[in-house]
Amino acid sequence: MSQSLSQTFLAITRNSTDLEWLQSALAPLGQVVSAGGGSLDELLALVDVTFANLVFVGLDREHVVAQSALIEGALEAKPMLAIVALGDGMDNQLVLNAMRAGARDFVAYGSRSSEVAGLVRRLSKRLPAVAPNTQLGGLTVMYGVQSSSDGALLANHMALVVQKSGQQTLLLDLGLPRGDSLALLGLESSFHFGDALRHLRRLDATLIDSAFTSAEAGLRILAYAGSDEPLETTSAAELFMLLSALRQHFQHIVVNLTGQADSEALRTFVSHCDKLLWYTDQNVLNCRRNLAVLNQWREKGMKLDHGRLLIDRYLNNVAPNADTLGKTFNLEVIAVLADNAEVRLNAKNQGVSLFDLAPREKLTQSLRTLGERLAKRSEGLAKPKVTWFERLRGSS
């Protein structure tokens, strides 16, 4: 994950209300991710993929023995981990059990946000810095509140440019309407996003080679199926596991999230990508909807320094112009894309890329330039090793 972005903290809590309280308290410092129901194996796996060095574990009288054993097991496997216990501050027995198990500190549920944040800051200063794996592939997210097939159209072309730059690239299409990235290219798939979540532990190079849909120049596409569960029902923990696995096999991942409603899963993508492309147009109604989400995230303390504004279907003689939009969103404008309505429609209807259909059009040139800019993030990463399956397929 990008080193410039916020920290990730893990938490095992009694319920979603406790988790939301902790998330609100620590929003300025980072993202709090639920580590599930208390499985030691799941917790340790999440520590590895999130690079978290601080974990919150909730304690209660009914399960204190198992919860204490979880703390002891985690510290035995990861001695440099800091664990903070959560519980009823008036229950001295819980506090004693937490300290005996090896917890660094104890926080009472409902404590003031400033107290919780202050404790985390003090602990973080004493903890060794955890350097993210710089060999993980680049991660670019495109998000805007409006649902449109144009989101998939643009993501297809950006990902294709990165792939043609010589980097093994995946387009993860979770935008709405579902599956447009495949439909626009006349492709079908029998393996989708939901399948990848169900096969997290089997997600190796062989499965990717055999199951992921392949498009032009070797670009891989993993998209929503109509039967997949909504994104908001996917836990942040599942997403971390999936992204960690995928980033070990691809030098760059382009994620289309246009049209998705606000959720913890969406925020996980946004908080941990290298570059966020906020997708909008000059339609004032769309701008208002986008600004409502953007301002809500800023009020919650989300760090959006990696965000850039991508303005689509741009008309020079229509207000608001690019400068005004950039100031309104308080984001640097990374690109403005020409309307070219006829060219877009022909590309969608014919299932042909703009690079083949209209290589000289302004829209096409802008997408090529934008894709080349994204490619620079991961051009220095080593290519994943060629598997025996790839060699066999190549020779045949």
Q: What is the DSSP string of 12-65?
A: E-SSHHHHHHHHHHHTTTEEEEE-TTS-HHHHHHHHHHH---EEEEE--GGGHH
For all residues of the chain together, what is the average pLDDT?
91
Nearby residues of 174 by Cβ (< 8 Å), 6 or more positions away: 193, 223, 224, 231, 255, 256, 257, 260
pLDDT tens by residue, 83-139: 999 999 889 999 999 999 999 999 999 899 999 999 999 998 888 776 555 567 899
Write down the CATH number for the domain with range 138-375.
3.40.50.300
Confidence band (pLDDT; 50, 70, 90) for 396? very low
In a 10 Å sphere around its CB, with 0-12 CB exposed, 13-18 middle and 19+ buried, how is residue 305 labelled? exposed
SS3 89: coil
- The domain spans of the chain are 7-126, 138-375
CATH topology agreement for domains 7-126 and 138-375: yes
Of 275, 305, 264, the C-alpha closest to 32 is 264
pLDDT tens by residue, 187-234: 999 999 999 999 998 999 999 999 999 999 999 999 999 999 999 999
pLDDT of residue 36: 83
Write down the CATH number for the domain with range 7-126.
3.40.50.2300
Global pTM exceeds 0.85: yes
Phi-psi region at 256: left, alpha or beta (left = phi > 0; alpha = psi -120 to 50): beta
CB atoms < 10 A from the CB of 63, how many? 13
